[in-house]
Amino acid sequence: MCMFPESDALKEVGIDSEYKFKGRIVNMRLDTVKTPEGNVASREIVEHPGGVGVVALDNEGCVYMEWQYRRPFDGLVYEIPAGKRDSGEEPIVCAKRELEEEIGLCANNWVYLGVSYASPGFCTEELHLFLATDLYKGEVNRDPDELLIIERVPLEELVKKAMSGEIKDGKSLIGILKANEYLKK
Looking at residue 144, its pLDDT comes to 86
Answer yes or no: is pLDDT of 2 > 90. no
Report residue 48's pLDDT band, with 50, 70 and 90 as the boundaries. very high
pLDDT at 1 over 80: no
Q: Identify the three-state secondary structure at position 131.
A: strand
Are residues 84 and 21 located together in one domain of the fold? no
Beta bridge partners of residue 35, listed in sequence order: none
**Residue 8 belongs to some domain of the structure:** no
- Same-domain check for residues 170 and 87: yes
Q: Is 2 domain-assigned?
A: no
* Domain range enclosing 78: 51-184
- Characterize the bridge pairing of strands 40-47 and 27-34: antiparallel
β pairing state of 40-47 and 105-117: unpaired
Are 43 and 56 in the same domain? no
Do residues 112 and 133 make contact, with C-beta atoms less than 8 angstroms apart? no
- Taking the C-alpha atoms of residue 50 and residue 63, their distance in angstroms, rounded to an integer, is 23
- Measure the CA dihedral 12/16/22/24, to 10°: 30
Domain count, the chain: 2
The verdict on 31 and 64 lying in the same domain is no
% of the chain surpassing 70 pLDDT: 99
Q: Are residues 89 and 65 in the same domain?
A: yes
pLDDT per position as a tens digit, 111-142:
999 999 999 999 999 999 999 999 999 999 88
Instruction: Please write the tens of the pLDDT for every residue from 53-83.
Output: 999 999 999 999 999 999 999 999 999 999 9
Task: Spell out the alpha helix ranges (H) of 61-169.
Answer: 91-103, 155-164
pLDDT digits (tens, 9 = 90+) for 144-157: 888 999 999 999 99
What residues are annotated to the active site? 146
Whether the Cβ atoms of residue 124 and residue 94 lie closer than 8 Å to each other: no
| 98 and 84 share one domain | yes
Q: How far apart are CA 61 and CA 41, in angstroms?
A: 50
Return the pLDDT at 174: 98
Q: What is the mean pLDDT of residues 175-183?
A: 98
Cα(182)–Cα(131) distance, rounded to whole angstroms? Answer: 9
pLDDT of 3 over the 80 cut: no
39/66 same-domain check: no
Residue 6 has pLDDT above 80, yes or no: no
